[in-house]
Amino acid sequence: MPLAGPVIRFLAWTVDLACILAASFLLDRVLRAVQVVQPDAASALSILGYFVLSTGYPMALEWLWRGRTVGKRLLGLRVVDEEGLRLQFSQVAVRNLLRAVDSLPVFYLVGGATCFASAKAQRLGDYAAGTVVARSLRMAPPDLESLGPAPYNSLKAFPHLAARLRRRVSADEAALALQCLLRRDRLEPEARLRLFKELADRFRSMVKFPDEAVGGIPDEHYVRNVVELVYGKE
């Protein structure tokens, strides 16, 4: 599972902090009624309420929602056991209690630094609890529709060469080519030409198609044909 880095985790934490502050504010409003009759009790409840919220909110939600708080849900993050097993309460408790050190000296500098240095992007609390924060992924099929209507693909006339090309193109190269095509309109003309020339030269070096298939085809068209072959668009 892809791991979440310190920046996105910090953003999730700011959302959670906003939730805690909002809940504290609501609690204060409610306690104003008590304050009229018992100001001392209202003040005590306010102090205890904020403490319970700030300490208990992440623990309670991560336990009940299997590793997610409001901030984590919004940003598609989830706390998971390092070995893929179910999260235990003691893990949730330990990783949150160690925020006391991770948040030192201010704004989670210690935790952030540890996250950057760790291969698994773990802060000290994650390290002690044996957890990592992963990104939840939605289904994301390749978005070929946004390329627009497909022009004739001359490479399909040579199925055995097309099959060879599909085998040789790596997943990352195909994804890169697709992204370049999707963002082509945002590129400067010179950069666009240079980029597709590099891609096309790369793909041409993998499999040589006959001249009748590729002769005169612009580099961008060639890359598009390759992407369609790889992703199997009909």
What is the 8-class DSSP label of residue 155?
Answer: G
117 vs 191 by CB, closer to another protein: 117
Q: How far is the CB of 178 from another protein (least distance, A)?
A: 9
* Closest distance of CB 97 from another protein, Å: 5
Closest CB to another protein among 28 and 81? 81
14-20, Cβ contacts within 8 angstroms, sequence gap of 24 or more: 14/71, 15/70, 15/71, 15/74, 15/75, 16/57, 16/58, 16/69, 16/70, 16/71, 16/72, 19/57, 19/69, 19/70, 19/71, 20/53, 20/54, 20/57
Which of 116/212 has CB closer to another protein?
A: 116
What is the closest distance, in whole angstroms, from the C-beta atom of residue 85 to another protein in the complex? 5
Footprint of another protein (CB under 8 A): 1-2, 39-41, 43-45, 47-48, 50-51, 55, 63-68, 78, 80-86, 88-91, 93-94, 97-101, 124, 127-130, 134-142, 144, 163, 166-167, 169-175, 230-234
DSSP, collapsed to helix, strand or coil, labels residue 95 as: helix
Q: Cα–Cα distances in Å, from 126 out to 132, 134, 195?
A: 6, 12, 41
**Residue 25 to residue 188: CA distance in whole angstroms:** 50
Closest distance of CB 211 from another protein, Å:
25
Q: Which is nearer to another protein, 36 or 171 (CB)?
A: 171
Q: How far is the CB of 100 from another protein (least distance, A)?
A: 4
Q: Which one, 88 or 118, has the nearer CB to another protein?
A: 88
Smallest gap, in angstroms, from Cβ of residue 67 to another protein?
A: 7
Closest CA relative to residue 81, chosen from 109, 115, 120: 120
Beta bridge partners of 78: 134
Q: Report the nearest approach of another protein to the CB of residue 46 (Å).
A: 8
- Residue number, 195 or 229, with CB nearest to another protein: 229
Q: Tell me the C-alpha distance between 205 and 51, whole Å.
A: 64
Concatenated DSSP letters of 31-80: HHHHHHH-HHHHHHHHHHHHHHHHHHHHHHHHHHTTS--HHHHHTTEEEE
CB of 128 or CB of 193, closer to another protein: 128
